[in-house]
Structure 1
Amino acid sequence: MPQRIDSESEPTTPQRPRNQGPLANILNVFQEFTPSKTQRQMRGLREELQGLLNDAEDAFSAKDSEIADLSNQVVPARPRRRRKRFHRADDAPASLDSQNSETLEDRTRKAGRHFIIDEGLFFIDEGAIWSLDVDDDFDYSTEFDSKSTRIQAQLQDVIRLLPDDAVSRRTEEWIGDAVHGMGGQRSATAYRLRRPSLKHLADATDLKHFTTSSDRFENFKQRIGYVPATDTAGAYYSAFKAPILYDEFAGEIDVDHLFRNPLLLNIHACILRGADGPTDLFKDNPYRPQAPYMEKIHNITRTSTGAIANAAVLAIWLYSADTKFLERGNETNINYRKRYRQYVEELRKGLTAKKAWVDALLNYWDGVFFPDADDDDGAARGAGDGENAEMESVVDAFANAPSLETPPAVFSYVICVISYLQMAGL
């Protein structure tokens, strides 16, 4: 029930030097695995270690790609030998080098992480998605007609992100294992939000109440939509009447302010750009780490509806009494999988129906994260009113430029007749 509270204190991880490089950061965490640690501290260290390992793997993959690109520039081109790509080292013949044998699995795992960032924190049905046949004629406008169409739509999203050479093998168990490795990414993200990134996500007053589950419940429950029990109904958490989702909240659902709380954008910045991603996010020169980061690794240049829904779910979890990020909250009983589906459904339905509030919302997020990217009409998404007004005048100037004068139709007819008569010698 929502009232159930775990009052046990959550020990904080001791401060240690950060950003010393992937290997140094991992070794620093390893050194803290001591017998004196409590189970809760050990769990936190494991989650932090998983996050560091994920970051290191992505960084190394990005470096490998850079090295490969440089090699291609300096090595003379030669005909490529066609050969089968294997997904595991023990499946590959001895003649294949280990890097090639691991490439497909690594890229599939990378696709799983990309899915977490852009498409969704959870699968609708993890068992069904791998056995379902791909509908090549699937119509996204039917996505929310039934559970089967929701699963098919999610399968389409998975297929779009999977490496081409993994698509035909998607029913093999290792593919599911690699993509399901995104569970580790969920844990790493949750750890990042509650620990190293928290200073960017909560003000000084709120920070004092993050130590225990009970403290979060008492201080933040209304913010995340808590509705107390009455004589006729039990307590619950409202999905859409949660002030934390809005930049302005007056007690009712207002789509013009929904999903615009700066906290949601700061959370997304943590996912895209690392623990310090929210630094100067709303300024002209926002922080970007020197090391490879998710936004660049996955070449993310637009805000997706899934990313917004993810940020909304994570914001609620962050301020909740829940101590772990599970599909169902271990203290609040919030169904986070269902909550994600509710948010993304309204966003995608609105996008399909060309609702103004969804279009404006995506433009707002894009203006913050990708201000230099172009809209479909060529306008800079992050441009201010003055720049956009100037561009409108430029467009008008070119559109209204005079054309070559064309003689009226009657004159054209007369000219044709005269030409015909001259040719006929009349």
Structure 2
Amino acid sequence: QKFEVTHALWLHEPTRTFQTSLDNEYDPLDRFDTIGSKLQGQLRDIMDFRDGMQEQRSNMASRLRARGAAIFQCTEGDLRVSHVRREKFGERIGRAEGPDGSLIYHPWNAEILHSNYAGKFDVKSVFLNPILQKTISCIIRGPASVILMNEGEPSRATRNNETMDLKWGLDHTTPGMIAASAVLARWTLSPDDYFKERGAESGIHWHEDFDNYLQFLLSGLKKQKRSVLHIFRQWDMALFPNTEHGLAGQLTNTGRDQLMQSVMAALDEDEDELAE
């Protein structure tokens, strides 16, 4: 379950993945450049894990739907039946009319992904809908943490027993966490009864959407895009306000690198004692 929440909901070509040798030159920020790099990324994520992914994925999704009333500000009955979800939440998860007049679900033009949604994808507000943070909080800290977030407080556990974030050692937001929350939140409101790679009722390619979200986030981190770094800062403020390991902080703190470059340059300019 930790793997699915923090890294990936599905695997690409699982058989081929385990036939792949480790590439020591692999860069995790290049994960989506080629099929080979996708496999390398997966291999590192799951070298010691594979069994139980489908069962854990389904259990996680079903629990979200059972406890989703507080997250999505609706009734339990709204989430219980497929046709009710279709009618009540379709537009929130991206339902629109396609070019041929048929109904489609757009992976990016979805209210549930954005804060201050204005009807279309916005790079400055995507993945900033608090519902997404509440979705992950429910998984790692329990549904009571969502109640606190609804009252304007940061996410925290209310039980004395050890919660998933403590068991898993989570101390900052990961790209997989955000991508998983986006897919899980959309699925919870979708007409699909079962969480599969492709929704039987909606036709949504959930696995493909997850990959697209993850690619967007990893690319933004690699290029240090302000919008993506802002996403990670906002998520850490809500979920891990005391973190010292946030990805936005790590990747934007260039001062140390620049200082090291100047130190090494000075060393290069120093005379070689053996040359005297």
Instruction: Quickly name the TM-score band, shorter chain normalised.
Output: 0.7 to 0.9
2:43 corresponds to: 155
Q: What letter corresponds to residue 113 of structure 2 in structure 1?
A: L
Q: Does 1:127 align with 2:15?
A: yes
Give the ranges of 4+ consecutive aligned residues of structure 1 lying more than 6 Å apart after TM superposition: none
Structure 2 residue corresponding to 1:187, chosen from 58, 65, 73: 58
Q: Which has the larger radius of gyration?
A: 1
- Any gaps of 5 or more consecutive residues in structure 1? 1-112, 163-177, 380-426
> CA separation in 2, counterparts of 1:352 and 1:332?
33
Name structure 2 gaps, 5 residues minimum.
250-276
Whether the aligned pair in 2 keeps the contact of 1:225 and 1:237 (CA below 8 Å) is yes
Cα separation, partners in 2 of 1:238 and 1:136, compared to 1, 3 Å: same
Aligned equivalents of 1:272, 1:248: Cα separation in 2: 26
Change (3 A) 1:285 1:212: closer
Q: Give the TM-score, by structure 2 length.
A: 0.83
Q: 1:179 offset after TM fit, Å?
A: 2.0
How many angstroms does 1:276 deviate by? 2.9
Cα offset for 1:233? 5.5
Distance change in 2, residues 1:366/1:143 (3 Å) = same
* Separation of aligned partners in 1, 2:27 and 2:196: 31
Structure 1 residues 245 and 129: alpha-carbon distance in aligned structure 2, compared to 1, 3 A threshold: same
SS at match of 1:210: helix
Alignment-mate amino acid for residue 139 of structure 1: D
**C-alpha spacing 1:115/1:257, structure 2 compared with 1 (3 Å):** same
Instruction: Give the secondary-structure state (helix, strand or coil) at the position aligned to 2:220.
Output: helix
> Quick one: structure 1 residues 376 and 277, their matched pair in 2 at CA, closer, same or farther if it must change by over 3 Å?
closer
Paired residue total: 246
C-alpha distance in 1 between matches for 2:127 and 2:34: 25
Cα distance in 1, alignment partners of residues 34 and 7 from structure 2: 19
Instruction: Give CA-to-partner distance per residue, 1:378-420, whole Å, 9 cap, x none.
Output: x9xxxxxxxxxxxxxxxxxxxxxxxxxxxxxxxxxxxxxxxxx
Structure 2 counterpart of 1:343, one-letter code = Y
Q: TM-score, normalised by structure 1?
A: 0.55
Partner of 2:131: 263
Cα distance, 1:303–1:235 mapped onto 2, change above 3 Å: same
| Separation (CA, whole Å) in 2 of partners of 1:138 and 1:285 | 35
**Residue 216 (structure 1) aligned to one of 69, 73, 85:** 85
- The correspondence of residues 52-71 of structure 1 with structure 2, limited to 5 A, is none
Identity %: 28
* Aligned counterpart for 1:337 among listed residues 207, 213, 230: 207
Given that 1:302 and 1:366 are in contact with CA atoms closer than 8 Å, whether structure 2 keeps it comes out as: yes
CA distance in 2, matches of 1:266, 1:211: 19
> Considering only aligned residues, what root-mean-square deviation do their CA atoms show, in Å?
2.1
Query: Is residue 211 of structure 2 the alignment partner of residue 346 of structure 1?
Result: no
Is 1:357 the equivalent of 2:227? yes
Q: Which whole-Å CA distance do the structure 1 matches of 2:36 and 2:101 have between them?
A: 32
